[in-house]
A and B are shown apart, each in its own frame.
Chain A
Amino acid sequence: MSKKIYSNTKNVLQAAQERVSLGFDLFDNISVSVSGGKDSTVLAHLVVQEAERRGRRVNMFFTDSELNYSATINQVDYLMNLSLLINKVWVQIPSVTQTVGKLRNCRFLAWDEKHRGEWVQEKRVDAITENIWETGAPPYGEFYIREAYEKSCGSNSGFFIGIRADESLERLKTVTRHPALIDGNKIKWATSKPSNSALLYPIYDFSHSDIWKYIKENNLKYNKIYDYQRLHSYPTKKMRVSNIGHQFSEMEMQNLPYFEPETYAKILERVEGTEIMQEHGNKSSLFLCKKLPEHFNSWKEYLQHLIKTSINPDIKVLVERFGRMDKTTDNYRQACRQVMMNDVLNEKPIKTKEANSKDNLLNKLKGL
């Protein structure tokens, strides 16, 4: 697991095609997750090519959390229509995400019926808009929706996902800790799931330039946001498309009025606290907590002040978590950042005395 062993015979494309093909061999049900980003664009195309070759149907899965670029919606729409063999699973279920700006209630409920007419994107006629998977009381986080979808696919399902290691080798290592074992075949680039199913990462070894080469070579459409980011001189590694309301997307929010003024205008109306994120989201002493504000002597002092003056009802969750953390300067700083980012779900982990990973998962399951 520790180092990369390079192949002398195969390039990443050949290897990925073989992996996708193996997935089709081993699993009865095939699904590919898309986000509208460049990686899932490449993956979706590879999977659809294989489906066409074999004449097999595939599910294409997208959780639409309302706070998306129009460019992302256009891209997903394009991907879903790449082939008639695609079963569109475009999910627009009311779901909860944490947002940074909102202080009094940091939970944003996407597709909230009470706010019909103010939705940032539109509900689609072909989307799944009601919970059909019955996994308990709504509202659900994205995590729930994914899990519920996977269960609904039945046994022996292969879920293709566009994770790449140069995005994060750590992440690849974490997700492949329990590799899949299907009919005696061990698949290292996968996560084992119950009922003879697995999450599959066939493009894990693609680099940025491989991704872009594939897009160019196959003349695929890609999310327009990348062109804007390129214009704004984003470093290649920072060129990514994610949910705009997500708590770590300060950069996205900052540039949104320049990229998609209409989407920004809608989000401004829809989500409280958007304005300050847009204007000061990248300031080192504010949300990023890179610089200690002048009138405090330490991160600890600043953290105490933030907790004391917080109007977020979820602050209790954070205080309880901070009680268990190692008392290091960097952890105090991270804790400040968690308060600033309303990070109730602990998606930006800090070191705690107990093992964090299980805790993390439990927190998520307890949910929103």
Chain B
Amino acid sequence: MLINKIEDYKIEGKVMVSEGIKIPCTEVRLINSALIYPNNYNPNSIPHTKMKQLVDSIKKNGFCFPIVTYFNGEKFIIIDGYHRYLMHKKEYLNMSHIPCVVLNIKETERYIATVAFNKAKGFHDCELDAKLVTTLKGKGMKYDQIAKALHIELETAYRYCQLSGIAAEELAGECYSRSWEF
């Protein structure tokens, strides 16, 4: 399970299969971060604030999602989870080993897998986000606590709580302007 050098890695694994579906996350390996390399094709980027949120979440909830890699005979290359991989760095969590699953798939399939991992996800419904924030507010959390916990700006937290009737409330003028002709 602990992999410090490539000889420690044996392709023969015992990935659990359930109802015909492979479950690679049942065979997680802790791989030395020196053996893991980013791929050179992933177009996904992540802002600094989201990295902080990731650090926070891993500190609180643990490393719940292993990164996905493939083994090319020399090193482990990331298919998905570059930003979780970065957690090994000093400025984040300073981890010597990163939990990984290793897939044995062909090159084109890797590209496709990367895109699928990045993109096959939902949109956050604006109103549901707002409801969630309002619920937290209702349970006694203060605006600044909510903003800090959810890693959103204080302004965003305020706005979410103001969802109903805001346009008319905020944008109406004090009095009507003077009429004009042309």
Contact = CB atoms under 8 A, between A and B. Distances in A.
Interface stretch (A128-136, A146-154, A208-216, A309-317): A208-216
B123 A257 contact: yes
Interface string A215-250: 111000010001111111100100100000000000
Contact of A210 (B159, B167, B168, B173): B173
B125 interface: yes
B171 A212 contact: yes
A148 to B, nearest CB: 31
Give the interface centre of A6, A176, A230 by most chain B CB atoms within 10 Å.
Answer: A230
A115 interface: no
A209 B182 contact: no
Interface in B113-139: 123-127, 130
Contacts of B166: 227, 230-231
Given A227-B164, A231-B160, A258-B124, A6 B170 contact: no
B160 A261 contact: no
A172 B167 CA distance: 26
A2 B166 CA distance: 36
A7 B167 contact: no
A226 B168 CA distance: 9
Interface string A1-32: 11111111011111110000000000000000
Interface string B138-182: 000000000000000000000110011111111111111111111
A111 B21 CA distance: 42
State the majority secondary structure of interface residues on A.
Answer: helix
Contacts of A232: 126
A12 B177 contact: yes
B168 A215 contact: yes
Contacts of A208: 171
Give the interface centre of A6, A13, A231 by most chain B CB atoms within 10 Å.
Answer: A231
B179 A14 contact: yes
Contact of B177 (A176, A210, A217): A210
A13 B173 CA distance: 13
A10 B178 CA distance: 6
Contacts of A209: 171-173, 177
A259 interface: yes
Nearest to B167: A226
Nearest to A16: B179
List 10 A-B pairs, minimum CB-CB distance, nearest first: A209-B173, A15-B179, A11-B176, A257-B123, A226-B167, A212-B171, A212-B172, A216-B172, A213-B172, A4-B180
Given A5-B181, A227-B166, A232-B126, 9 more contacts: A10-B179, A11-B178, A12-B179, A13-B176, A209-B173, A210-B176, A213-B174, A229-B167, A230-B166
23 contacts: A5-B181, A5-B182, A6-B180, A8-B178, A11-B175, A12-B176, A12-B179, A15-B179, A165-B182, A188-B182, A208-B171, A209-B172, A212-B167, A212-B168, A212-B171, A213-B175, A213-B176, A215-B172, A222-B167, A227-B165, A227-B166, A231-B159, A231-B163
Interface of A: 1-8, 10-16, 165, 172, 176, 188, 205, 207-210, 212-213, 215-217, 222, 226-233, 236, 239, 257-259, 261, 264
